[in-house]
Chain A
Amino acid sequence: MEFIISNLLNGLSFGMVLFLIAAGLSIIIGIMGIINLAHGALYMLGAYVGWTIAVHNGLNFWLAVVVGGLAAGLAGLFIERGFLRHLYKQMNEQVLLTFGFVYIITNVCLWIWGGQAKVPFTDPALSGSLNLAGLMYPKTRIVVISIGLALAVGLWWLQDKTRIGAMVRAGMDNKEMIMGLGINLGRISMFVFIFAAFIAGAAGVIGAQLWGVYSYMGLQTLLFALIIIIVGGVGSIQGALTGALLIGVIDAFGKALFPELAMFTMYIVMVVILIVRPSGLLGRKV
């Protein structure tokens, strides 16, 4: 029983980090129609900046989360205003451009922080374990699960229940109509993109509690995010959450029960979903 609960929690915490990575990308791809392959690199940038604040300068961990998010948001602003706004609806160009930014951001990070990995870090108050009905479980993982759930609820509310969420969705369905109604869609797109980049950067610091920071995480996290979006469905926060938790739990039990298949578990799930339900579990039709 302890084995099942412990791996379930491991899967949930891993899945929540995956959700934090994928949530912003899901919004950008599904709602704005932009393929931003630099999303993982923004996650990494946030993680490195967070490490500088929390470990190198010994400041508050939660300050590091905010500053990491702001750094990624700023980079997002640069990418969107400087380049992507000229390439709306041009998917090939978006892919090439943002993949180029993966290399640029990765090399800038290598240049500033070097290639040496940074050890996982957290707030001193979160070190150690909590007793969950006899099962000792790390506090950091419980915090990651809680933050992921809170973000999922917040994003769902923002996307489905607010006026700005409605404007964004309407803009993607009929750009001309929404602009004809006097709404500045360009500005809304910019804010959504920066917001998604902020989430990626903040997620980088939150995820660093479990994964640390290292120089190739930009591509690794991008791959994770794309798998989550394919499994959960494009453009849906609920889909990203479902996909992330499903992948997280299957990955945890896969590693524990069939470690020799660990390299493929995520991809097996993705292939099955693509065959059975190509639009993903809860995909939104764009």
Chain B
Amino acid sequence: MKRKKLALLSGSIGLMVIVAVLPFVGACAPPAPEEFKPTPAPAPAPKAEPIKIGTLLNFSGPIADMGPRFLQGIEMALEEENYEAAGRPIELIVEDAASDPTVTLERLKKLYTSDGVNIVIGPLMGDGQMAVGPYAAEKKILITTIINGMFPNVEFGNWVMYPTTTIAQQRMSGWYVYDELGARTIVTIGSDYAGGYGYIDGAVYGFEEKGGEVVQQIWAPIGTADFAPYIASVEEADALVVFLSSGEDAARLLLAYNESGRELPQLFQLIHEVFTPEMLAEFGEGIVGLKAQSTYVWNRDDPINNQFVENFRAKYGTVPSIEQNSYTLAKMVVSLLEATGGDNSFDKLWPALLALKMDTPQGPLSFDTYGIALTDIYIIEIQEKAGDFVPVILKVYPQSTADPRLE
């Protein structure tokens, strides 16, 4: 009994000591850089000093499937460059944004203060981008979106908005629904988060520019288990424009749509890439005829894209989809570093970004003066070809993704 008490006492004391010492451990750590100081370019840094590139990807939470896929794209791009740029080695530091804005900001702070990173690929989610915006701007971190970005961050002047902003990208969807589908009224269903509003607002922006009318808007929580009640409440319209942030949500909505037994407006989906090629195969005939907006189409016949798809398939055994985005972003970072002679200071990287012109698997890439990418936008339809369910391009809007609010 006495021994037990003693053990308890010593355990408690040990715990108290650890708690008391912890703050000092932090205090003894090397001080965080207060402000990023650009190196006087163009002299390249010594070879031994690596350039650190950070990533904020989602490996847990509702879109945990996307983190590993984006990482595949980044790793493939850097392997092709032998993890080198302008003679300097590249070190990749991967962090889990956990689909949580608070965690995303914490991880960005860790990347900057502990790892000394000032180039970051990610975060994906709109709310995460909004959370890290002010901090990334204050520390002059060159930071990228992965599947479009939140417009308010454009003002900070340090964001690479790839493939563009949410509204700029989906404006063409609105045009297509009006011009090509002949719709004059639409109902929208969107994921209830910042990015969801951005995408739907973009399609509505383009649709209303043409003179169309939105008759109903429905916002569904991310991770909605059953979409049947939403589908049952869809009002009469010419088209149903949908953006859902994850493949599983989009799959459940499509199932509810197909099984509703009602005469429903024609479905048009924003960002068809939420469905992986494996998901398209699992859907089978249930997805044939779905029209959607797409940023990247893996089977688009183009020499750069064909080579990328072949290499990707050889490495990962499947065709790429959203992995193209992170692949291109990693290639873009390497190109910027090559352009600055290996100088990774923000003040050198940003002008290099604005001057950059690249041919990518997605298509030609350049940037406007705000750091917003100008890329091609595709409208596709899922069709069955030789037993496979593949996207077929119906229309291309070439490099037309300038944000309309900056015109």
Contacts and interface: CB of A to CB of B under 8 A. Distances in A.
Interface string B51-91: 00000000111101111110000000000000000000000
Contact of B279 (A6, A114, A116): A116
Given A115-B64, A120-B252, A216-B62, A259 B230 contact: yes
B64 A136 contact: no
Contacts of B251: 117, 119-120, 212
B39 interface: no
A199 B224 CA distance: 23
Contacts of A48: none
A15 to B, nearest CB: 10
Given A256-B232, A262-B221, A216 B61 contact: yes
B246 interface: yes
Bin chain A's interface residue count.
Answer: 35 or more
A14 B192 contact: no
Interface string A211-238: 1101110001000100000000000000
Interface residues of B, number: 38
Interface string A247-277: 0000111111101101100000000000000
Interface string A115-155: 11111110000000100000111101100000000000000
B218 interface: yes
Interface string B229-250: 1101100000000000011100
Contacts of B226: 10, 13-14, 210-211, 251-252, 255
Given A212-B248, A216-B223, A263-B192, A119 B283 contact: yes
B290 interface: no
A117 B246 CA distance: 9
A82 to B, nearest CB: 26
A220 B68 contact: no
Contacts of B45: none
A190 B228 CA distance: 39
A7 B218 contact: no
A141 B255 CA distance: 12
Contacts of A138: 259, 261
A236 to B, nearest CB: 24
Given A117-B247, A135-B261, A255-B230, A220 B64 contact: no
A116 B247 contact: yes
Nearest to A9: B228
Interface of A: 3, 6-7, 10-11, 13-14, 17, 55, 110, 114-121, 129, 135-138, 140-141, 210-212, 214-216, 220, 224, 251-257, 259-260, 262-263
